[in-house]
Structure 1
Amino acid sequence: MSTAPVDLVIIGAGFAGIYTTLHAQRRGLTTVGIDAASDVGGTWYWNRYPGARCDVESLDYSYSFDDDLQREWRWSERYATQPEILRYLEHVADRYDVRQHYRFGERMLSADWSETTHTWTVRTDAGSVVESRWLVMATGSLSAPILPDLPGRDTFRGEVYQTAAWPIEHPDLRGKRIALIGTGSSGIQALPHLAAAGSEVVVYQRTANYSVPAFNRNIDDDEWLAALADYPERRRASWNSLAGSPWTSHPVPFHEASPDEREAVFEEFWTRGGVLFAKAFQGLTGDAEINAAATEFFERQLATLVDDPHTLADLTPHDHPLGTKRICTDSGYYQTFNQEHVHLVNLQREPITAVSERGITTSSTFREHDVIVYATGFDAMTGALTEADIRGRDGRLLRDEWKGGPTTLLGIGIPGFPNLLSLNGPGSPSVLSNMALCSEQQGDFALRLIDHCAQTGFTSAEARWDAALEWTEHGRELASRSFFGSTRSWYTGANVEGKARGFLPYIGGFRPYIERCDDVAGAGYAGFVLSEH
């Protein structure tokens, strides 16, 4: 089924896709949006697992482009749950009539660039064929879930669920023996809810992660009214920050603070909750002494939450510096292990050897389960771009081009792939920032580039190889100055077998990145080759 050519095809209907679609329409551009889901939401459509919650405060994790929108939507909690965030995105889609531009329930299979016409031809699994001048990949940083390659994995005859593709109708897990594999953010959030339902829960942990309580709360009317009054300043601070939120590190450097002041600062940032703990002092993820002090504080807090000393030891991270894997945000995760029916299996000591019809066998024992829940993460940053057959100039396949690691200009332009614009891709701040504001910034840059080409008569824009190599190397060099670059994590692709290692997001900060993008645009999109067919 072919349709009339359009100005741009947008893949994805999450924060970035919705924003880009509605602002493209405001510019008079014709668009077709494509998403495999049945409705808008992106990651918040798929990740419906019990306990799913954002680790950025609701007041910040929302669009800033329309003051009426941010005042009319009333957030109920400090950290919104998945259902509330999904309702918000549905509300935005309703308010701006976004759905009319989307084809839901279709997955992009391939995209091919024509050097003759300077257009992309996009094909989906529903048989749709769309020709477009521009291809905008708003596919998200964490949208290609992975499963572990366990012997016998598919022989299990009980119920199997994946946190990243949770059923719309929540399964009834009451009284069942549940295996939870994975203790990243999704597993940490899900465990207390699984424990409340199951008769027994066994957690299979490969790597202990740092998690800080969310200290979540409902937003009462007084707090909401105060937030509305402060919204302009809050947004100004967020747009000028390093991570897209208004919170900054303690103003007194760690090495100038007294021991009592350091303790007070760590306590303050601990009670702020979650990822904010890593912002306590500047340099926490690059200075060994600061990191050691933060780690020691964390371990003291953890010891108050877990009763059994052996479980405490297994839950204490030892393989990476604090903050170099995104600190998780939990609501009662560690305390759940104090319940008699919840057990922890340390896979470093007792690896899984097989999954069978009735359960899981490790190197030391067999455990019978009724349910297996996989909370095993994503092929982050690149997976959603490489799973489709995207062919650029001279038939180059993006999957092959990135076998040695991605090369991008600003995370948006890809050499050899004209008119393909990747939003929140590798080389952009993305997962190290507030994705709501980052999605606005990314969509704006893409549309400004499209406008510039239309106004100047150019029909294609392609990142120059030298400019992209320079940007990619710049990002790697910045990462090497911190502990991030040497830590095995999904930031570096270490969670995917065979994936090239390298720090994927841009670590230089949200505001500095915006300024770099503005410089590129102000110089007539320096680093891009603009041409006409």
Structure 2
Amino acid sequence: MTVSSQQTTDYDALIVGAGFAGMYMLKRLRDDLGLRVRVVERGEGVGGTWYWNRYPGARCDVESLFYSYSFSSELQQEWDWTERYPTQPEILRYANHVADRFNLRPDIAFSTSVNSARYDERQDRWIVETDDGAISTAQYLITAVGCLSASRVPDFEGIDTFQGATYHTGEWPHAGVDFTGRRVAVIGTGSSAIQSIPEIAAQAAQLTVFQRTPNFSVPAVNRRLDPAEIEQTKADYDQLRQEARLSPSGVLFAPPIGRVGDLSTEVRTGEMKQRWENGGAGFMSAFLDTGVDIEANEVVAEYVRDRIREIVERPEVAELLIPRDHPIGTKRICVDTDYYATYNRDNVKLVSVRETPIERITEQGVVVAGETYEVDDIVFATGFDAMTGALTAIDIHGVDGIILRDKWAAGPRTYLGIATAGFPNLFMITAPGSPSVLSNMIVSIEQHVDWITGHIAYALQNGVTRTDVDPTAEDAWVDHVNTAAHQTLYPTAASWYMGANIPGKPRIFMPYIGGVGAYRNLCDQIAEDGYRGFLLGAGAAPKTGGPSADRNTVTAES
């Protein structure tokens, strides 16, 4: 398909999404490479995840001093965070500050969604159609759509008959919601529910929580930041940022003290107690073998179960809240403020729908085991079609008309979580096959953006108009990602990491578990090798001689 220039607007690069990934990608390509760039954003403003997720209690589970850009020394010195774990409004203010400081808005088309993108093999360009009917072309198409942006509500019978208001935590009204005096149902007990339930309970006359699967959560121990702490961190930022980039998760947790089996009960209990009281996900990094040995994992899990029993006053409620069906950490660990204590309130009721699922939703409320729980409002904290949903929702056509959602029908296939064979000049920021959701997303975003910028600069310098993935390199990477995952306990859980929350979605562990630092080093080496595993030119042989060479074989040792 070829479209004449009179019908289109031509760019060097078109970016989908104006969250933290899209904004930084725009800055790098526009300001550093001098390209003509356009960002398409379905929201009315920047911020991505933090534009949409405005539910009560929404916070990041990475500490604010490190959930921030590192690319600009001036930016990180001038911005002051107020709390250990930043709230959604504060993160959104930061995103808007970045957009204004670097004059990004003029190159962003807001309130616009991409309907389709088709690769024109004759021109080596992408033809992109948006929901306003506009057509653009670009040599490079870059997706920055986010890993948790395709919200999902289960297809409950009768959902359209409910006479009250319904909300999804991932698409919260920007004006907010006042639940004062209301009878509220929250369906789901994942991260957004664990954050919002204490806030809603403090307002509502009655809160009924419908729980299918209890999740492990650790206390945040949030606090106001001390000015001296901020000043010291800013003074040490260069060193701290570099340590984070080379760390396993992009977050500077206290290192593990050893293997569970090598430590006395007293030592390991003392370490867990200290980390629990300090708060945050660093609790999960106490020991070396929590994620790979089920007996070690059970020691940590039982410690948390005991804390739940201590906090929740009614034993029967505590037992319902205690997870037993998955090893701790194999679902993303939640970080909360007073979540378990909320169930001690007289106006909060917990209904387990594990053995007796929700039958239907009626005009008045939610029906479980023949009983109708009458409510005024329903909050769906039912999660997302994670990692792939926002990508496959777009009609993306590669060479020979292949459609991305069809290629990924049996599970996502990428090379490095950055590109996928058969879709030339398409780059994906923090896609499946990269550390992404197992990491501090800002660290992973910056690494991907910098790497993609380097790849495009290399192409420009060497007259390359088309860059595609060699299928053999993709196969090797997919095998490596799967092998690495199955060396851990992660695939044993029915998690959104595995796509288990979406009926019919293939059960594939989607992120790369090899670690942020190791992954960065591998990506850097691939770039230094002339972008090993990529086909550069117009269907030419790989720059380094083909993936059959020893240097092009991805192994677990890589």
What TM-score, normalized to structure 2?
A: 0.94
Q: Give the AA of the match of 2:62.
A: V
CA distance in 2, matches of 1:487, 1:270: 23
Cα distance in 1 for residues equivalent to 2:502 and 2:42: 23
Match of 1:362 in 2: 368
Q: 1:514-525 counterparts in 2 under 5 A? A: 514-525=520-531
Rounded Cα–Cα distance in structure 2 between residues aligned with 1:139 and 1:271: 36
**Amino acid of the structure 2 residue aligned with 1:236:** Q
Q: Which of the residues 180, 200, 222 maps onto 2:206?
A: 200
One-letter identity of the residue aligned with 1:132: A
CA distance in 1: counterparts of 2:449 and 2:268, whole angstroms? 40
- SS of residue in 2 equivalent to 1:304: helix
Contact 2:85 2:222 in 1 (8 A): yes
CA contact (8 A) 2:257 2:286 kept: no
Asked whether the 8 Å contact 1:137–1:421 carries over to 2, the reply is: yes
**1:262 Cα deviation from its structure 2 partner:** 0.7
Could you tell me which residue of structure 2 aligns to residue 300 of structure 1? 306
Aligned mate of 2:45, from 20, 39, 49? 39
Q: Would you say 1:4 and 2:4 are equivalent positions?
A: no
Q: Percent identity?
A: 44
Aligned partner (choices 46, 52, 63) of residue 58 of structure 2: 52
Can you list the C-alpha shifts for 1:260-279, whole angstroms capped at 9, x where unaligned? 21111111221232322111
Code of the residue aligned with 1:35 in structure 2: it is E
> Residue 235 of structure 1 contacts residue 246 of structure 1 at CA under 8 Å; is this kept in 2?
no
Residue 162 of structure 2 corresponds to: 156
Which residue, out of 449, 452, 472, partners 2:455? 449
Conserved 8 A contact 1:50-1:194: yes
Does structure 2 conserve the Cα–Cα contact (< 8 Å) formed by 1:320 and 1:487? yes
Residue in 2 aligned with 1:468? 474
1:530 and 2:536 correspond = yes
SS at match of 2:237: helix
| Aligned equivalents of 1:219, 1:53: Cα separation in 2 | 15
Deviation at residue 253 of structure 1 after TM alignment: 3.3
Look up the match of 2:513. Answer: 507
Q: C-alpha separation between the residues in 2 aligned to 1:415 and 1:481? A: 26
Gaps of 5+ in 2: 1-5, 540-558
CA deviations over 1:63-97 (Å, ceiling 9, x no partner) = 01111111110000000000000000100000000
**How far apart, CA to CA, are the structure 1 residues paired with 2:258 and 2:489?**
22
- In 1, the alpha carbon distance for the partners of 2:387 and 2:139 equals 24
Does residue 322 of structure 2 align to residue 316 of structure 1?
A: yes
2:131 equivalent to 1:122 = no
Amino acid at match of 2:127: T
* 8 Å contact from structure 1 (residues 211, 274) kept in 2: no
CA RMSD of aligned residues (A): 1.1
Once the two structures are TM-superposed, the CA of residue 2 in structure 1 deviates from its matched residue by 4.9
Kindly indicate whether residue 294 of structure 2 is the aligned counterpart of residue 288 of structure 1.
yes
Q: Select which of 7, 20, 25 maps to 1:20.
A: 25
**Does structure 1 residue 430 correspond to structure 2 residue 445?**
no
Shift of 1:405: 0.4
Cα distance in 1 for partners of 2:299, 2:367 equals 39
CA distance in 1, matches of 2:7, 2:435: 36
Of 177, 184, 195, the residue aligned with 2:183 is 177
SS at match of 2:9: coil
> Are positions 1:231 and 2:231 aligned together?
no
Contact 2:330 2:492 in 1 (8 A): no
1:340 paired to 2:346: yes
Counterparts in 2 of 1:399-418, with a 5 A limit? 399-418=405-424
| C-alpha displacement of 1:199 | 0.4
- 1:258 paired to 2:264: yes
1:415 Cα offset (Å) = 0.6
Normalized against structure 1, the TM-score is what?
Answer: 0.98
* Alignment gaps of 5+ in structure 1: none
Secondary structure, in 3 states, of the residue corresponding to 1:164?
helix
Q: How much has 1:531 moved relative to structure 2?
A: 1.5
Q: Which amino acid in structure 1 is aligned with residue 9 of structure 2?
A: A
Distance (Å, rounded) in 1 between the aligned partners of 2:270 and 2:78 = 37
The offset of 1:350, in angstroms, is 2.8
What does residue 382 of structure 2 align with? 376
- Is the CA contact 1:457–1:532 (under 8 Å) kept in the aligned structure 2? no
What's the secondary structure of 1:5's corresponding residue?
Answer: strand
State how far apart, in whole Å, the 2-side matches of 1:482 and 1:126 are. 46
Aligned length: 533
Q: For 2:137, which of 131, 146, 150 is the aligned residue?
A: 131
Separation (CA, whole Å) in 2 of partners of 1:369 and 1:449: 54
* 1:9-68 deviation line (CA, Å, top 9, x unaligned): 000111111111011112101101001000100000000001000000001100011111
By how many angstroms is 1:3 displaced? 4.4
Contact 1:250 1:265 (8 Å CA) reproduced: no
Tell me the amino acid that sits aligned with residue 499 of structure 1: K
Contact 1:274 1:327 (8 Å CA) reproduced:
no
Cα shift at 1:342: 0.3
Distance in structure 2 (CA, Å) of the matches to 1:248 and 1:404: 38
1:375-406 Cα shifts (integer Å, max 9, x gaps): 10000010011001000000111111110001
> In 2, distance between residues paired with 1:278 and 1:162?
29
**Residue 14 of structure 1 aligns to which amino acid in structure 2?**
G
What's the CA shift for 1:156? 0.6
- Which residue pairs with 1:140 in the alignment? 146
State how 1:81-100 maps to structure 2 within 5 Å: 81-100=87-106
Judge conservation of contact 2:309–2:319 (CA < 8 Å) in 1: no
Deviation at 1:193, TM superposition (A): 0.8
The AA in structure 2 aligned to 1:13 is A
| Candidates 167, 174, 179, aligned match of 1:168 | 174
**Separation in 2, partners of 1:153, 1:4:** 42
Distance 2:134 2:476 in 1: 38
Q: Whole-Å Cα distance in 1 between the matches of residues 451 and 443 of structure 2? A: 13
Residue 236 of structure 1, CA deviation: 2.0
Whole-angstrom distance in 1 between the partners of 2:491 and 2:503: 18
Give the letter for the 1:285 counterpart: G
CA–CA distance in structure 2, aligned partners of residues 427 and 439 of structure 1: 14
Match of 2:71 among 52, 55, 65: 65
2:236 is paired with a residue of what secondary structure?
helix
1:456 offset after TM fit, Å? Answer: 0.8
Distance 2:126 2:248 in 1: 35
Paired residue secondary structure (2:58): coil
Residue identity in the other structure for 1:65:
F
Residue 554 of structure 2 corresponds to: none
Asked if the contact 1:54–1:81 (Cα under 8 Å) also holds between the matched residues in 2, the reply is: yes
Question: Which letter maps to 2:10?
Answer: P
